[in-house]
Amino acid sequence: MDFNLETLLKSREELGRLGGRDVLAKAHRFEIADILRGIGLYPYYCELDRNEGAVAVLQGREVLMFGSNNYLALTTHPEVRAAAEAAIRDLGTSMTGSRLLNGTARYHVEFEAEIAEFVGKEAALVSSTGYQANIGVLSGLLGGDGVAVLDRFCHASLVDGCRVAGARVVYFRHNDATDLDRVLAEVPAETPALVVVDGVYSMEGDVADLPRIVAVAQRHKTRLLLDDAHGIGVLGPGGRGTAAHFGLTGEVDLIVGTFSKSLASVGGFVAGDARTMDYVKHFGRSFVFSASAPPAAVGAARAALAVLKREPGIVDRLRANADHWREGLRTIGLDVGRSSTPICPVVTGQEVTTIGMWKDLLDAGVFVNPVLYPAVPRNRAMLRTSVTAAHTLEQLDRALEAFRDVAGTYGVVSEGAGEGWPSSVA
C-alpha cells in the first residue's frame, strides 16, 4: 500500500469534523486503524494471553512487560488471587447497584477505613474505578459556579470530572507554582475554587512540586485535590503516596487513588475529612448513578494493600528497579524527560518514529506503550515505559539492550551517550 505514514496519522485529527448532521459519518470513514492493522503497525488493544507482571504472553510469544501499571506486580500474588476468589464466594460476582442504594457491602466499608488509615485521612470512599472517583468527587463538590484550577498535564478523568460538574476549568503551566499563583490571583475571592494536581504524572513520570503548590493554594485560601493514582505504592514511606513523601498529608484536602495500578485490581477511592466524604457520597454522581466496585475487585485490592503494609520492601525493590532502568535509558542517550519514578518516558517528539520504535521493540520482545497526541502535547510523542518490582536485573538489562539497538536505528540517541553502559551486562 502506498501512503505516507505521517500524513495518515495526522488525518485522524480531521475526523471529528466530518459528517455534518450524521454523527456516524466519521466512524464510517475511519480507516487509519484498519490500514495500520494491515501493515502490522497498529499498536493498541493488543490481546495478551497471559500477564505475569514482568513477563507477558502476546499472541503466543513471551515479551518483557514494560508497559503496565502493575508497579508492585501483585496481580498474580497468591493472597491477592485467593482474596478475589473468597470475595466471590462470600458475595457473588456483583452488587448489581450503586453504592447509594443497594451496592454497598461490608467489604467496601471495611476497606474504606483501611485506606483512610493508610493515606492518613479521616475517611475514604471506594468507587468502581479511579476514573469514577474523580467524576464523583469533582461532580459532588464543584457546582456550575465553581472554578477548577488544573495543572496542564492533569489526567483526563480530572478534566472529565470538572466537565460533569459544569465547572469552569482553567489551567496553569505544568508543575509551575508561580503560574498557579498568577491563575489563582485572577479567580474572584468568593468564587468556589479547587486546585487539582496529579501526584505522579502518568505519562511523564515526574512528581508534583507539592511544597510550592500547597503554599500557593494556602495563600489563596483554596482547597487542593491530589490525584495519586501513580503515587500510591510508589512514593512515600511504605508507598503511602506523594503527600506522605513530602510530609504534607495534612495540607492536602483530598487524595484520590486507584486500585488499578499498585493495588492490583480495579476500583478507586477518594480520601479526606469525614464530613466531606459523607457529602460526596450523597452528591457525587458516580456514587449515586453507577454500580459499585464488585466484591472480587475490592477483595483483591484489600489483599494487595495488606501485602504492601506487611512487606514494604517491595516498594524499595520497585525504586531500585526504576533507578536502574531510568539511568540505563539515560546512558543510552535517550530523552527521559523529568522522570524520577517507575514511569519513564522515552521522548522522540515524532509520531512516526514512536510507532516504528514500538514495533521494533516488540519484535525484539519488549512491550512498551506508544503515546501520541492528544494524550501528550503535539511535539512530545513518546514511548511510555514503566517497570515493576518483579523485573530482574537481567530482564532490565535485556530490555535496555533492545532499546539501545532500536534507538540507534532511529537516530534518537543524543551525541556522546552510551559511555559506560551496560553496567551489568558483560
Answer for the pair 43, 359: CB distance below 8 angstroms, yes or no.
yes
Q: Which of positions 121-180 make contact with ligand PLP (CB under 6 A)?
A: 129-131, 134, 155, 157
**Nearest-CA neighbor of 76 among 57, 94, 89?**
57
Residue 197 contacts ligand PLP per CB under 6 A? no
Phi, psi of 269, deg, nearest 5: -155, 160
- Please count the residues of this chain forming the interface with ligand PLP, following the rule CB under 6 A: 14
Residue nearest to ligand PLP (CB): 130
Minimum Å gap between C-beta 135 and ligand PLP is 10
Residue 361: CB minimum distance to ligand PLP, A = 22
Q: Which of 110, 126, 396 is nearest to 258 (CA)?
A: 126
> Min. distance of Cβ 104 from ligand PLP in angstroms?
19
Residue 134 φ/ψ, nearest 5 degrees: -70, -40
Tell me the CA distances in angstroms from 48 to 99, 279, 292, one per residue in order: 32, 41, 27
Closest distance to ligand PLP from the beta carbon of 29 (Å):
29
366-367: strand order across its sheet: 48-51, 55-58, 61-65, 366-367
End-to-end, the C-alpha distance of the chain in Å comes to 43
Preceding amide of 422 cis, omega within 30? yes
**CA-to-CA separations, 160 to 132, 155, 164, in angstroms, rounded:** 10, 9, 6
Q: What is the CB neighbour count within 10 angstroms for residue 48?
A: 14
Beta bridge partners of 414: none
Minimum CB distance to ligand PLP, residue 308 (Å): 17
Q: From the CB of 266, what's the least distance to ligand PLP, in Å?
A: 6
For 168, the grid coordinates are 469552569
Cα separation of 167 and 170, whole Å?
10
Q: Interface with ligand PLP includes 371 (CB under 6 A)?
A: no
Q: Which is nearer to ligand PLP, 136 or 333 (CB)?
A: 136
> Minimum CB separation from ligand PLP for residue 83, in Å?
18
Binding to ligand PLP, residues 7-26 (CB under 6 A):
none
**Minimal distance, residue 157 CB to ligand PLP, in Å:** 4
Q: Which member of 204, 206, 209, 227 binds ligand PLP (CB under 6 A)? A: 227
CB of 127 vs ligand PLP, minimal distance in Å:
9
Q: Please, what is the minimum distance in Å from the beta carbon of residue 290 to ligand PLP? A: 12
Distance CA 301, CA 262 (A): 9
Q: Provide the 8-state DSSP code for 240.
A: -
Cβ proximity to ligand PLP, 134 vs 395, nearer residue:
134
Measuring CA to CA, how many Å separate 311 from each of 45, 75, 305? 33, 15, 10
Strands 223-227 and 369-371: unpaired
- Only segment of 22-30, 113-121, 224-232, 340-348 that touches ligand PLP (CB under 6 A): 224-232
Using the rule CB under 6 A, is 260 a contact of ligand PLP? Answer: yes
CA 204 to CA 384: how far, in whole Å? Answer: 8
User: Looking at 14-22, 223-231, 305-313, 350-358, which segment touches ligand PLP (CB under 6 A)?
Assistant: 223-231
| Residue 196 vs 357, nearer CB to ligand PLP | 196
Decide: is 71 part of the binding site for ligand PLP (CB under 6 A): no
CA–CA distance, 271 with 197 (Å, rounded to integer): 15
Judged by beta carbon, residue 233 or residue 356, the one nearer ligand PLP is 233
Given the complex with ligand PLP, which of 321 and 369 has the nearer CB atom? Answer: 369
229 forms part of the interface with ligand PLP (CB under 6 A): yes
Given the complex with ligand PLP, which of 198 and 209 has the nearer CB atom? 198
User: For the window 261-280, what string marks contact with ligand PLP as x by the rule CB under 6 A?
Assistant: -------x------------
Query: Binding residues for ligand PLP, per CB under 6 A?
Result: 129-131, 134, 155, 157, 198, 202, 227, 229-230, 258, 260, 268
